[in-house]
Amino acid sequence: MTSSQVDVVLSTVEDEAIAAGYAIHVEPQPVNARGDVVVVAPQGSRVSVEVVDLSGRVVQFLWEGIVTSGQVRLSSDWSSLAAGVYRCVVRSGNYRLSTPLVIVR
């Protein structure tokens, strides 16, 4: 599988997640040490949220649970992570969606 084929597969998976009602974003952006991750998911969805580095390695687990109100706001402390670019990833069943997390010092 080539790099462009991987990009297409990931784009399709994320497009399907968006169409199913999932969203994720980080506030503020960029972040220094603390910020919020906002996850939108269909009510009753079981989701997990984690931070991965650019190689895909999980560097911080944020939360796992059931979204009861359609949205979850997670206050997070990233002071233990080095400055750089990461991704916040939400997973639910076959759905996966991510957004950049930029940490500056």
Residues of the chain above pLDDT 70, percent? 90
Is 90 exceeded by the pLDDT of residue 8? no
Is 70 exceeded by the pLDDT of residue 9? no
Task: Quote the CA–CA distance of 16 and 2 in Å, as a whole number.
Answer: 21
Is 60 exceeded by the pLDDT of residue 6? no
pLDDT tens sequence across 42-88: 999 999 999 999 999 999 999 999 999 999 999 999 999 999 999 99
Contact between residue 52 and residue 59 where contact means Cβ atoms under 8 Å apart: yes
Domain boundaries, the chain: 3-103
Give the lowest-confidence range in 1-5, 23-27, 38-42, 89-93: 1-5
Contact between residue 104 and residue 30 where contact means Cβ atoms under 8 Å apart: yes
Task: Quote the CA–CA distance of 58 and 93 in Å, as a whole number.
Answer: 18
Residue 14 confidence class, pLDDT cut points 50, 70, 90: confident
Which residues, 6 or more positions from 36, have their beta carbon under 8 angstroms from its beta carbon?
Answer: 26, 27, 73, 74, 75, 76
Q: Which CATH architecture is the domain 3-103 placed in?
A: Sandwich (2.60)
